[in-house]
Amino acid sequence: MIELNRENTNIEIKLLLEAIFLKYGYDFRNYGQAHLKRRIDHRLMVSGIKSISELTQKVLYEQDIFNLLLLDLSINVTEMFRDPGFYKTVREKIIPALKTFPFIKIWHAGCSTGEEVYSMAILLKEEGLIDKAQIYATDFNQIVLKKAKEGIYPINMIPDFTSNYQRSGGKNSFADYYKAKYNSVMIDPALRQNIVFADHNLVLDGVFGEMHMIVCRNVLIYFDRILQERVIKLFIDSLTRGGYLCLGSKETLRFTRHFDHFSEVEKNEKIYKKLASLEENVRSK
């Protein structure tokens, strides 16, 4: 009976995802099953909807319900200078290489509400690179993308943001980069001058320019293996020769079929460098 119930649940989830794709064009069909079930169960619980089948019906006919579910299924866990060791490594090992270029392009894929995008802008400003850099911040979710553009965050997050900034090797006072008002803080608008926020769907959309660095941290872990491989190929095609790919702490290229296209810059921080050719990888070993 347990196996039968699990099979029925899986079928209901597949029908829900198919309905979302056909009606709204968002494709979650290759997201990890465990992640999907957790987020769908959460929506059922908080909304009082009794079954996935009932949720599917509401998603098809009630835009507000779909918008809520879209937020549930999106990956929006982030903060300023998240994983400070990563930013410290970027400052020490990648920035010197980026300084050799006359102009640099950086893509934050799956930027969510923008905290890590502004973190990168602050780092580039402190390293004297912001005026010759263009940061592209993309997400498929228009709601979180709007929040990213606004750059307004709860003031109670500032102690954590400040601690992260200091541990990442920040050179100034973090208070230099925001203004507090009531219960919120607004990131210095000057930091947005070199950021382009844009709609881009990693599942459906294609190559995104020729980037010197792509930052996509803690997104691939929510995809199944097939989608992970597809997105990594997209990153390969979007990087310049010698460009850097930065993944999250729980992600790796090592067991993918694209690993030979990269060398590891920093294993612990999951930073990789695109090679000119597979022969270059052989020579580097």
- Count of other CB atoms within 10 angstroms of residue 71: 14
Query: In terms of domains, do 30 and 111 share one?
Result: no
280: confidence class by pLDDT, cuts 50, 70, 90: low
Q: What is the pLDDT of residue 24?
A: 87
Q: What is the pLDDT of residue 285?
A: 45
Domain CATH code at residue 277: 3.40.50.150
- Looking at the chain, the whole-number percentage of residues with pLDDT higher than 70 is 95
d(CA 21, CA 246): 29
Three-state SS for 11-23 is HHHHHHHHHHHHH
Q: What is the pLDDT of residue 208?
A: 86
d(CA 109, CA 218): 10
| SS3 category, 54 | helix
192 located within any domain: yes
Q: Does residue 68 surpass a pLDDT of 70?
A: yes
Query: In terms of domains, do 142 and 192 share one?
Result: yes
Q: Among residues 18, 42, 73, which one ends one of the domains?
A: 73
Query: In terms of domains, do 160 and 20 share one?
Result: no
79 located within any domain: no
Query: In terms of domains, do 251 and 197 share one?
Result: yes
Query: In terms of domains, do 189 and 255 share one?
Result: yes
Q: Does residue 218 surpass a pLDDT of 80?
A: yes
Kindly report the pTM of this predicted structure: 0.85
d(CA 285, CA 283): 6
Give the bridge partners for 199, in sequence order: 139
Query: In terms of domains, do 214 and 162 share one?
Result: yes
Query: In terms of domains, do 61 and 156 share one?
Result: no
**What domain range includes position 47?**
2-73
Q: Among residues 73, 94, 117, which one ends one of the domains?
A: 73
Q: Does residue 277 surpass a pLDDT of 70?
A: no
16 located within any domain: yes
Query: In terms of domains, do 257 and 175 share one?
Result: yes
Residue showing tokens 């810059």 = 265
78 located within any domain: no
The number of distinct structural domains making up the chain is 2
Q: Does residue 84 surpass a pLDDT of 50?
A: yes
Amino acid at 98: L
Query: In terms of domains, do 111 and 247 share one?
Result: yes
Report yes or no: 73 and 39 within 8 Å, Cβ to Cβ. Answer: yes
Query: In terms of domains, do 42 and 96 share one?
Result: no
- Cite the DSSP H helix spans in the chain: 2-24, 33-47, 52-61, 63-73, 84-89, 95-98, 115-126, 142-150, 158-167, 225-238, 278-284
Q: Among residues 31, 51, 73, which one ends one of the domains?
A: 73
- Residue-wise pLDDT for 174-202, tens only, equals 999 999 988 999 999 999 999 999 999 99
